């Protein structure tokens, strides 16, 4: 099976006064169709720079990004625009990523401009309604504004927007970190359901080892712009080879452990 996403030798240097900071240093990874790959590391490890490069928001100084066999940085601007229907992103802040002046139906339908012969009129509204229902919202929600929803519901709207063009790859950059524990679990379950139903591949970027343990098939561990460990999630989390990975695991209990801790604290207060 060919890779859905292939990143080879990605490097990105930022100049800070007289200093040069390697946000990415020879990063390589791959993701197969229908798989979820977690990219984990502390703040400043290069995760978000990697996400921007994969989305072709930012050109790296060296290396290649291929999605479905196409090298993104070799495409002409018009070709890249058409290719974007195949890869979409969900951002960390579910409110900041939504235009507060637009109703939900306009927000969710936005990526359809990338789709040739995209539906118009009633067909478009029906597609928006079905996509909202796919993420656990209702057709009536299309007529509301972002401020009328909770944080978790806003993230569902953002996921609906990302899915409406039926992409092959979803890039989730800290997509649950701004949400409380219960809502995090709901969004993670939703991503797993969507993967099962559509076969979408997911690049899930997070600082939370518990989230990786919850949904990822494979994991890449980053530190200071470099990949320091990679492998099947269970193999890496059960028997990490790097001290850095062990320190991340020790510092970040799983969602299940956090849930038990909250339950115990609740009992202690009664």
With CA atoms as reference, report the closest residue to 166 among 197, 142, 145, 141. 197
What pLDDT score does 269 carry? 45
Per-residue pLDDT of the chain (270 residues; tens, 9 = 90+): 589 999 999 999 998 778 888 999 999 999 999 999 999 999 889 999 999 999 999 999 999 999 999 999 999 999 999 899 899 999 888 778 889 999 999 999 999 888 877 888 899 999 999 999 999 899 999 999 999 999 889 999 999 999 999 999 999 998 887 778 888 888 889 899 989 998 999 999 998 888 899 899 999 999 999 999 999 999 999 999 999 999 988 887 554 544 544 454 455 444
What pLDDT score does 76 carry? 94
With CA atoms as reference, report the closest residue to 204 among 159, 270, 265, 253. 159
What pLDDT score does 266 carry? 53
Asked if 258 and 215 touch (Cβ cutoff 8 Å), the reply is no
Question: Locate tokens 């993420």: which residue?
Answer: 135
Domain boundaries of the chain, sorted by first residue: 5-269
Phi-psi region of 98 (alpha: psi -120 to 50; beta: other; left: phi over 0): beta
Interaxial angle between packed helices 181-198 and 255-269, expressed in degrees from 0 to 180 and rounded to the nearest 10: 150
The Cβ of residue 122 has, within 10 Å, a number of other Cβ atoms equal to 8
Tell me: domain 5-269, CATH 1.10.150.530, correct? no
What pLDDT score does 113 carry? 87
CA distance readout (Å), 228 to 41, 103, 232: 10, 43, 14
Q: Where are the beta strands (DSSP E) in the chain?
A: 5-16, 19-31, 36-40, 62-67, 70-71, 87-90, 169-173, 201-206, 218-223, 226-232
What pLDDT score does 253 carry? 57
What pLDDT score does 1 carry? 56
Task: Tell me the sheet residues that pair with 139.
Answer: none
């Amino acid at each position: 099976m060919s890779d859905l996403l292939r990143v080879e030798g990605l490097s990105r240097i930022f100049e800070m006064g007289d200093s040069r900071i390697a946000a990415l240093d020879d990063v390589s990874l791959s993701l197969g169709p229908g798989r979820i790959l977690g990219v984990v590391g502390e703040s400043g490890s290069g995760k978000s720079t990697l996400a921007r490069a994969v989305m072709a928001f930012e050109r790296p100084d060296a290396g290649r990004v291929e999605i479905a066999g196409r090298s993104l940085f070799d495409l002409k601007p018009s070709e890249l625009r058409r290719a974007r229907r195949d890869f979409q992103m969900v951002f960390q802040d579910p409110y900041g990523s939504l235009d507060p002046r637009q109703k939900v139906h306009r927000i969710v339908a936005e990526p359809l401009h990338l789709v040739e012969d995209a539906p118009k009129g009633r067909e478009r509204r029906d597609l928006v309604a079905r996509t909202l229902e796919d993420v656990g919202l209702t057709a009536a929600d299309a007529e509301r504004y972002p401020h009328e929803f909770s944080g978790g519901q806003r993230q569902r709207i953002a996921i609906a927007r990302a899915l409406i063009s039926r992409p092959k790859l979803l890039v989730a950059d800290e997509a649950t970190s701004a949400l409380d524990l219960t809502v995090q679990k709901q969004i993670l379950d939703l991503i797993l359901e969507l993967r099962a139903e559509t076969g979408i591949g997911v690049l899930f970027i997070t600082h939370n080892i518990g989230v990786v343990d919850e949904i990822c098939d494979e994991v890449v561990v980053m530190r200071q712009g470099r990949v320091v460990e990679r492998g099947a999630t269970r193999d890496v989390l059960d028997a990490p080879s790097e001290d850095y990975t062990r320190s991340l695991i020790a510092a970040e209990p799983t969602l299940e452990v956090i849930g038990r801790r909250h339950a115990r604290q609740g009992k202690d207060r009664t």
